[in-house]
Structure 1
Amino acid sequence: MTRLLIVSDAWHPQVNGVVRSLENVGNTLARRGYEVRYLTPEPFWTLPLPTYSEIRVPLPSLRVVQDMIADFAPDHIHIATEGPLGLAARTLCVTGELAFTTSYHTRFPEYLAARLPVPVEWSYGYLRWFHAAASATMVPTPSVLKHLRRRFFRHLAVWSRGVDLSAFSPGPKAMFAGLPGPHLLYVGRVAVEKNIEAFLELKHPGTKIVVGDGPERGALMHRFPDVVFTGQLTGAALRDAYRSADVFVFPSRTDTFGNVMLESMACGTPVAGYPVMGPIDVIGTGKGGALEDDLASAVKRALSIPRSEAISRAKEFTWEAAADQFARRLAPIRSRVGIAA
C-alpha cells in the first residue's frame, strides 16, 4: 500500500477551500488503495492569527514532526501550506534529502498586504524560496500557473478541484421564499480580502444574502442592515442556500480557485463575478456564469443563464480527475529530484 503524508497548517475547525480540497483528494486516493495520513495543527499548541482570530497558527516542535514522519514512513510527502508546520516539514525534508511536493492555494501576499503594511514582493520572495525546494508545486488553475511563472516560480503543475455531485445537486428553491427576489447569494469567509463590499454596494433589486463568518461580519452587518447575514451554514442547510438563490455572486479578485462557485453551479445557480484569476478558469467562456468588470452587469447577465447550463459546467470538474493530477505529480521521497536548499 502506498503511504501518503499530507502536511497542512490549515485544518478543522477551519472551513475553507484548502481543507475541503485536501480532504476530498485524500478520500479519493484512499478509495484507490492509498494510506493517507494528515499532519495538522491538532497535536500542537496554537495561537490566534493577528487580525484574524478565527484562524489559529500552530507552534510545532521540529522533533515531534520528525518523529511523526518517521513513525508513518511515507512513500510520498506533500506539504500543502507555507506556515510554521509546512516550514518544519520542509526543513526536515531538505536536511534529510527527502523529495516532496507542495501546493499553492492562497494569494497570501495580497491577503497580508490588505491587512498589514508588508510589501507584496517580500511575501512572494518567501514563497518562491519555500516552493523552490519541491519537486513540483501544484497550483489550482492555468491562470495561477502563468501568474507564478511571471514571478519566477519553478516546477509548476496544475492540480484542479472538483465538486461532489452526490451532495451538491439541484433541488427546491425554498430557503429564501419569504424574501423579495431575486435572491443574490455570497458564500465564504467574511473578510477584507474577499471584496464583499463590492457585492453589498450593488444597486440591484431583490435581497442580498451572505452565508459565512469572519472578522468583517459585525462591521458589515452594521453598514448594510438590509442584507441577510445567516452566519456559517453546512450540510443540508448550505445546499438549500445554494439551490434557493437566483445568482451566486463571487466578488473576490484574489482567490486562486473558488470551490464555492462549483458548489453553486452544481446546485443549478449561475455565478456572477469579475474576469480575474479563479473565476476565468471555473466559469470559462461563460457557460454557467457571467464575468464582467462591472459586477452589476455580470449579475444581470447571470440572471438570464439557464440553471441547466450551470449544472452542466459543474459536471466538468470531478474529484476523480483532480486526484489523477495530484497523484501524477507525487515524488518518491528517496528521489533527489527537486531537492534544493
Structure 2
Amino acid sequence: MRIALITDAWHPQINGVVTTLTQTMEVLRRLGHTVELCAPDRFYTWPCPGYPNVGLAFLCGPRLRPTLQAFKPDAIHLASEGCVGFAARRYCREMGYHYTTSFHTRFPEYFKMRIGLPLWIGYGYMRWFHSESARVMVTTESMRQALAAKGFERMVIWSRGVDTDLYRPREKDFLRDERPIFAYVGRVVVEKNIEDFLKLELPGTQYVIGDGTQRPELERKYPKARFVGFQTGEMLARYMAAADAMVFPSRTDTFGLVILEALAAGVPVAAFPAPGPIDIIGRAPVGVLGADLRQAALDALKLNPADCRRHALNYSWEQSARQFLGHLTPMIRGPHETYFKT
C-alpha cells in the first residue's frame, strides 16, 4: 500500500507524537508498504511562539498538492490539525478524496493554559477538523469516551507500543543520589503539570528528565530537584531504569508513552486517574493512580518491578502499526457511505 502520512509534528521535536509516527513508519516500511511523509521540514516555516522547535508551515498548500499528486497514494492519513494537516484536509475535500485522521494532543487544554483561549473555541476547531474524516484514531477507550461526549464521531482505537529491547531493567547505580529516586520524564512545559510533582514532599531525590520553556522557572523554585535536560536513546533508557518510581503528573496527555517506557524498564508509575494512565495501568499491579499524587508515589515503591516489565511486554510497535494499517481507508471518490462501515 502507498500511504501518505501528513503531520505538523516531526523532528527536531521530541515528543510522543513524533516517536509514534517514527516507529509506525519504520514498521510499515518493514512490512513492505511505501510511506510518503509530508512534514514541516519540506516547507518554509515560521517558529511557533513558545515552542522554538516547532515550525509552522503556513501557506504550504501549493507545494503539498503536487507532492501528493505525484505520489499517488492509496490512503491518506492526517496525523495533526496544524498548517500541513489543514492544507491536506482542504486538498482532500476539494478533490473528493477520503482520508483518516488521528487525535494525538489535547490542544484546546494547552491553549487555554497558555493564552486563555476558551475550550469551546479550541474544541470547535478540532471537531470541525475531524468532522469529515472516515475514521478518527484515538489512543484509548477513555479518550474515545471523552471525545464522544464532546461531539466527535467515527472513532477507533489506535494504541501505542514500546521498544522493550531499549527500555529494560538495568542496574540502579547509574544514579548515585539519595534514594528513593522519583523521576518525571517529558517536556518541561506548563501543560505537563510538572509542578504538582516537584512540590510533593517526598523522601530521596526528585529528577526531571527533559527540557522546555518552563525549566528555568522550575529550577529556580525547586533547587533541590535534579534537572538533567533532554535525553534520548540509550542515555534516556539508563536514566529511566535507574529510577525507583516514575511520576506522571499530566492531566491532559492522551496516552503517555513514557509510562510504557518506565514499565518496560521495570519502574512502577504513579499518576492521576486520567485518560492514558487509566487505560495503560488500569487495575494491574504496575502503578498507582490517585488524586493524592504523593501517596501514589510512595505506594508505587511497593510494587514488583517484574510485574511492570511483564505488563509492558503486551505492547509492541508492530502491533500498533498493524492496528493503524487496519484503520486506513481507500482514497476513493464518492460519499463516505459508499465504503465506510462501522
Question: Fold-level match, TM-score > 0.5?
Answer: yes
Q: Is the 8 A contact 1:272 1:291 kept in 2?
A: yes
Q: 1:325 aligns with which of 323, 326, 330?
A: 323
Look up the match of 1:129.
Answer: 128
Whole-angstrom distance in 2 between the partners of 1:43 and 1:294: 45
Look up the match of 1:256.
Answer: 254
Structure 2, unaligned stretches of length 5 or more?
338-342
Across the two proteins, how many residue pairs are aligned to each other? Answer: 337
Q: 2:273 aligns with which of 272, 275, 284?
A: 275
Look up the match of 1:34.
Answer: 33
Secondary structure (helix, strand or coil) at the match of 2:234 reads helix
Closer/same/farther in 2, CA of residues 162 and 336 from structure 1, 3 Å limit: farther
Closer/same/farther in 2, CA of residues 285 and 316 from structure 1, 3 Å limit: same
Q: Which amino acid aligns with 1:326?
A: F
Whole-angstrom distance in 2 between the partners of 1:73 and 1:56: 26
Per-residue CA shift, 1:95-153, capped at 9, x if unaligned? 00011000000011000000112110111011111001110000000000001100111
Q: 1:235 aligns with which of 230, 233, 236?
A: 233
Whole-angstrom distance in 2 between the partners of 1:191 and 1:123: 19
Structure 1 runs, 4 residues or longer, greater than 6 Å off? none
Q: Is the 8 A contact 2:60 2:83 kept in 1?
A: no
Structure 1, unaligned stretches of length 5 or more?
none
Percent of pairs with identical residues? 42
> Cα distance, 1:335 vs. partner?
4.8
Look up the match of 2:211.
Answer: 213
1:80-159 to structure 2, matched below 5 A, reads: 80-159=79-158
Q: Is the 8 A contact 2:43 2:63 kept in 1?
A: no
Per-residue CA shift, 1:302-340, capped at 9, x if unaligned? 00001001101111111122122211110110153539x
Q: Is the 8 A contact 1:186 1:209 kept in 2?
A: yes
Q: Is the 8 A contact 2:12 2:53 kept in 1?
A: no
Secondary structure (helix, strand or coil) at the match of 2:46 reads strand
Q: Which amino acid aligns with 1:102?
A: T
Secondary structure (helix, strand or coil) at the match of 2:47 reads strand
Deviates most, 154-163 or 321-330: 321-330
Secondary structure (helix, strand or coil) at the match of 2:228 reads strand
Q: Is the 8 A contact 2:78 2:85 kept in 1?
A: yes
Look up the match of 1:306.
Answer: 304
Q: Which amino acid aligns with 2:235?
A: A
Secondary structure (helix, strand or coil) at the match of 2:42 reads coil
Secondary structure (helix, strand or coil) at the match of 1:93 reads helix
Q: Is the 8 A contact 2:285 2:308 kept in 1?
A: yes
Look up the match of 2:340.
Answer: none
> Cα distance, 1:60 vs. partner?
4.0
Q: Is the 8 A contact 1:190 1:214 kept in 2?
A: yes
Look up the match of 1:72.
Answer: 71
> Cα distance, 1:53 vs. partner?
2.5
Whole-angstrom distance in 2 between the partners of 1:337 and 1:172: 57
Whole-angstrom distance in 1 between the partners of 2:10 and 2:72: 22
Q: Is the 8 A contact 1:5 1:38 kept in 2?
A: yes
